[in-house]
Chain A
């Protein structure tokens, strides 16, 4: 792909450019935010204190990354309540892999999910390192530096879980369930806009190319663990990218916006008053 011209800052984008930047950012931010929401369900429930801390920390990382991407959407005017607490569930664009509930008590799920997601995340960040939009490019290094150990953590656990027959059987069950949803990570939000994202150089690799690379990585790795992968699996009915979601997403959305609504909030209020502004 020819390297594109540098795009200007948020105020000077054309309407088409802005739509491309926003579409890309919602994909990034929503994935990170929703996956973190799901990870937190494992807090104090992971099998060891060490893994409890690790998953809680990974969730914190992903929330931090979501915040960095939502910051850039705020450049265009909306504030945090607009972007998170008051955005209707049918306007979110995360991959449905991130929103699925966990099968009850199955540790293999967050581990495999994290592996499938983090390999994709690496490819995606690599394709943003030379983004034509400086505000995106400037954040990639920070995020990549914090992602390194996520995949290591997942692989380490996957290898242990697949070490005996019972563990492998459970990972296989989760794999059969999650894999089609993982493919939605590379589904387009809108074909035309995705093409524009590539043409503008916002991203230096197409979704189709990233999908191929991802398959080239995860399929041999998982097969090496003794698992069967249906690499030609069809996409599920709910893609997420195009705002089609599972019913579980509505429940999750209800839950994480509950406090905000219950308190009758219209803004993300701070808990403590600024001492300088207090009477």
Chain B
């Protein structure tokens, strides 16, 4: 079984899009409740008078990463359940959730006629040479497939925007600190 599942013609393939060209609404999971626009998107506010708070726009090129990673904030119903399942998956080397590590770029749950709910997850890895790639993607697929009501999962690995330490959430930083890593 491949960890990158085949294309699903019903879902627009965001891998073909330059993230810079996407509206926040088009990036699954970053728009919060569907249709609510960017009000629910953490970090999308232009209020960046304190340069320290905007540090990572310098770290990773372009502004498109402002709403990355996705954290599931504002998700509801079955989509929130998927996020809960993702929070339960830890990095193989450190006791920190992959969501808090900033590896999840988006989640979208859609309902298909006669097929139940389908989850699409966009995810990255910290390192291209990660030897745990298949292990981790398998675990994520299993975790999401285990959510009640989810019938199928499509996990897609993406590499842009590039993951950096700035993607780690506050909770993730705290967990890493507890583990003995200073971030």
Binding site for B on A (CB under 8 A): 8-9, 11, 60-61, 63-65, 67-68, 71, 74, 79, 134-135, 137-139, 141-143, 145-146, 270, 274, 276
Interface size class of B (residues with CB under 8 A): 20 to 34
Chain B binding surface SS class: loop
Contacts of A61 in B (CB 8 A): 128-129
4 closest A-B pairs by beta carbon, nearest first, are A64-B129, A64-B128, A138-B160, A142-B159
Q: A11-B7, A137-B18, A276-B142 are in contact. Are A142 and B160 (CB under 8 A)?
A: yes
Binding site for A on B (CB under 8 A): 1-2, 4, 7, 13, 15-18, 60-61, 127-131, 133-134, 138, 142, 157-164
Chain A binding surface SS class: helix
Q: Give the complex CA separation of A64 and B161 in angstroms.
A: 17
Contacts of B162 in A (CB 8 A): 141-142, 145
Partner of A274, one of B15, B138, B161: B138
Q: A64-B127, A135-B15 are in contact. Are A71 and B4 (CB under 8 A)?
A: yes
Are A139 and B160 in contact (CB-based, < 8 A)?
Answer: yes
- Shortest Cβ distance from residue A125 to the other chain B in the assembled complex, whole angstroms: 13
Contacts of B130 in A (CB 8 A): 64
Are B134 and A270 in contact (CB-based, < 8 A)?
Answer: yes
Are B18 and A65 in contact (CB-based, < 8 A)?
Answer: no
Q: A8-B16, A135-B15 are in contact. Are A142 and B7 (CB under 8 A)?
A: no
Are B16 and A134 in contact (CB-based, < 8 A)?
Answer: yes
Contacts of A9 in B (CB 8 A): 7, 13, 15-16
